[in-house]
Structure 1
Amino acid sequence: MGDLARLLKESWSLVEEHQDKVAGYFYARMFLSHPDLRELFPVQMDVQRTRLLSAIVTAVQTLEDPERFDDYLRALGRDHRKFHVAPEHYEVVGGSLIEAMRAHAGEQWCIEYDQAWADAYAMIAARMLAGANADQNPPYWYGEVVQHERRSQDIAVFTVLPMQPLEYRAGQYLSLEATAYQPRLWRTYSPANAPRRDNTLEFHVRALGAGWVSSVLVRRLRVGDMIKMAAPMGSMTLDRRSTRDAVFVAGGTGLAPIKSLLEELTRYNRTRWVHVFFGARTREDLYDLAELNRLAARYPWLSVVTACSDDPTFAGERGDISEVVARYGPWNEHDFFVSGSGAMVRATLRKLAELQVPSVRIKYDSFNG
């Protein structure tokens, strides 16, 4: 596996700077050779272009951790059932991927790289297919929007009732498709609640720039609309065996999975102190603060610290949430859960490394929307 991983890294370094071009060539080859595949993809391909490529690269990067590799790919295979992917499609994707990389790698590309990617992709496809074949659930669930509330100009909180029970664990995330508005465009969001008897799921979404899906979910979605939800993924879940106190660090709508984990803790926790750090740019972006404060008032083991990075009128802590966490502590005996934008999560992980928090005690969920 070591030699394979070396060849994959070496060859990827030849094309890494040209990812957009590789992605464009990849889809062009795939659709030219198999035009029927085009209907599996969204009409607008601009956001989609690098998603499949980045999923494959992420999978390749897990090769050196066999257990994580297996779990991730089986989950990815279950998730891809929502696209109605058939076994023969995997072969088409693999061939197109290698052609695209070879076309943009230049003269340094060699037959050993061809073979390494063919071998790696065969392992990836086998595990994804095994995950898809073992899944007894439907490819996706339909759900009805039963509540929708705008919390700020670009943040909405809405509740969905699945047409049939959807099993997941607090802290996981699902892919959503706003069927009536943006068919075949899926984005991942974490439920903001632990599983409930009434099966409802609450989602927190921020509309980001020209985000095709996020802007629809915030500005156009209405009570009574139907959405699709795909199989749950992610491992930012609670270990009930842990007796360590916990720190939850949330940036913006990264609060959603943190709320889900908190709800699970309210059902059984009696011994662990839990500290929540909730950061945003302005006071308006602390969109769920009233509910957090209600939870803190009700459960003596829970404390909440809020911070704004760009609001001089805010009475609480100022600065990036990673810096605020560092002002408290010490934290080297705690379990950490971090959720927010990619930049926020990276900053927090760097700060926790400086504070010598062992990485095995940190779980995180990074997103771009």
Structure 2
Amino acid sequence: MSNLSRLLKESWTLVEEQQDKLAGYFYARMFLDNPQLRDLFPVQMDVQRSRLLGAIVTAVQTVDDPERFGEYLQALGRDHRKFHVRPEHYDAVGTALFEALRTHAGDQWTLEFDQAWRDAYAVIGAKMIEGAEADSGNPPYWHAEVLHHERRSRDIAVLTCRPLQPLEYRAGQYVSVETRYQPRLWRAYSVANAPRKDGTLDFHVRALGAGWVSSALVRRVGPGDMLRLGAPMGRMTLDRRSTRDVVCVAGGTGLAPIKALIEEMTRANRTRWVHVFFGARDRDDLYDLACLNRLAARYPWLSVVAATSDDPDFPGEHGNLSDIVARYGPWNNHDFFVSGSPPMVRATLRTLAEIQVPAIRIKYDAFGDC
């Protein structure tokens, strides 16, 4: 571990238990000093606060992995073009961040910690600006027309849209989505198909509680509506050089990127077995199981295991998906893709660590619908 990484991680422990207060102070300070920046952000700031902290934690955790660190920040810079962020805005963000960290760490904050964050933020800002500039040939966001909208269960919909300009991405990646019903409020959704010649994109969306964007996408959006899509992000993509067999673990609408990866493999796979574990609370939430079973019947290299946690009459596996995956092993020599809610992903990662699956062979993106 480098000295910079050590200082960042040590200092983060001083504020980690105060993340909500830290984020609230950060935004209040930034908007007070730079009121013109407020219009770049949504009216509802609850999820935006957690996303800031998620980005900080990810950057801190990857600082000793230059390739991953650089890729993540460049992608983040590309994605932030949709907010019309300009290079000069990074100074305002940094000033507010340093003050928030100092305030909430209190007397334990040192000049050494302060300099470490300034050094790290200088690199973060430079990499994000670099990523944004490299993407200048693309629009800051894509306008996309909804072509089809199908309710698959009480709170799940599958929709297909077509961007008005070409949007290049890889199977397994996600984009952020904005609707006209909640301007400036963006939420991340995985694309549920591999790239197609007609450019269309599928999204699997669950309406969660008072989720502003997910509820609109499930209950209000229909054919003819326009969406705005951010730049593609995510590392949960196939390594085409690998010859290892594949295990995909999908919880609920976490099936979306898994579906895209399977679709990509139907075009090229000749040697790799693919095992899909698809879990949900009950059979209604296994909204795309019939399609998975049809794919398994068509491609002999694909197998599907479905499971429910709260449906005792379901004619399949029962229990927590991570426990079921462990029972079907051994999996020591497989590539893993894990997608679902953050608790589901964390539980699966713990189980895979217990059965000694090397972390380097596990890819995942965890985020919740809102």
After TM superposition, the score normalised by the length of structure 2 is 0.97
Counterparts of 1:40-59 in structure 2 under 5 Å?
Answer: 40-59=40-59
Residue 46 (structure 1) shift: 2.4
Contact 2:280–2:307 (CA under 8 A) maintained in structure 1 = yes
- AA aligned opposite 1:296: A
Quote the residue 1:203 is aligned against: 203
Matched residues, number: 368
Q: What's the secondary structure of 1:188's corresponding residue?
A: strand
- AA aligned opposite 1:125: G
Residue 35 (structure 1) shift: 0.6
Residue 158 (structure 1) shift: 0.3
Quote the residue 2:154 is aligned against: 153
Quote the residue 2:367 is aligned against: 367
Q: Deviations over 1:341-361 (max 9, x none)?
A: 111111111111222222221
Quote the residue 1:163 is aligned against: 164
Q: What's the secondary structure of 1:313's corresponding residue?
A: coil
Residue 54 (structure 1) shift: 2.5
- AA aligned opposite 2:351: K
Q: Deviations over 1:183-213 (max 9, x none)?
A: 1111111111000011000000111111111
2:327 equivalent to 1:327? yes
Residue 165 (structure 1) shift: 1.0
- AA aligned opposite 2:102: R
Residue 53 (structure 1) shift: 3.0
Q: Deviations over 1:268-316 (max 9, x none)?
A: 1121111111000101000001111111111111111100011011010
2:126 equivalent to 1:139? no
Residue 329 (structure 1) shift: 2.3
Quote the residue 2:249 is aligned against: 249
- What's the % identity of the aligned pairs? 75
Q: Please give the alpha-carbon distance, in whole angstroms, between the structure 1 residues aligned to 2:2 and 2:305.
A: 45
2:266 equivalent to 1:240? no
Counterparts of 1:86-235 in structure 2 under 5 Å?
Answer: 86-135=86-135, 136-178=137-179, 180-235=180-235
- AA aligned opposite 1:23: A
Q: Please give the alpha-carbon distance, in whole angstroms, between the structure 2 residues aligned to 1:222 and 1:274.
A: 34
Residue 85 (structure 1) shift: 0.2
Q: What's the secondary structure of 1:48's corresponding residue?
A: helix
Residue 218 (structure 1) shift: 0.9
Q: Please give the alpha-carbon distance, in whole angstroms, between the structure 1 residues aligned to 2:65 and 2:309.
A: 37
Q: Please give the alpha-carbon distance, in whole angstroms, between the structure 1 residues aligned to 2:310 and 2:195.
A: 35
Residue 57 (structure 1) shift: 2.8
Residue 56 (structure 1) shift: 2.3
Residue 156 (structure 1) shift: 0.6
Q: Please give the alpha-carbon distance, in whole angstroms, between the structure 2 residues aligned to 1:88 and 1:225.
A: 34
2:2 equivalent to 1:12? no
Q: What's the secondary structure of 1:139's corresponding residue?
A: coil
Q: What's the secondary structure of 2:329's corresponding residue?
A: coil
Q: What's the secondary structure of 1:194's corresponding residue?
A: coil
Residues 300-309 or 356-365, more deviating:
356-365
Quote the residue 2:283 is aligned against: 283
- AA aligned opposite 1:21: K
After TM superposition, the score normalised by the length of structure 1 is 0.97
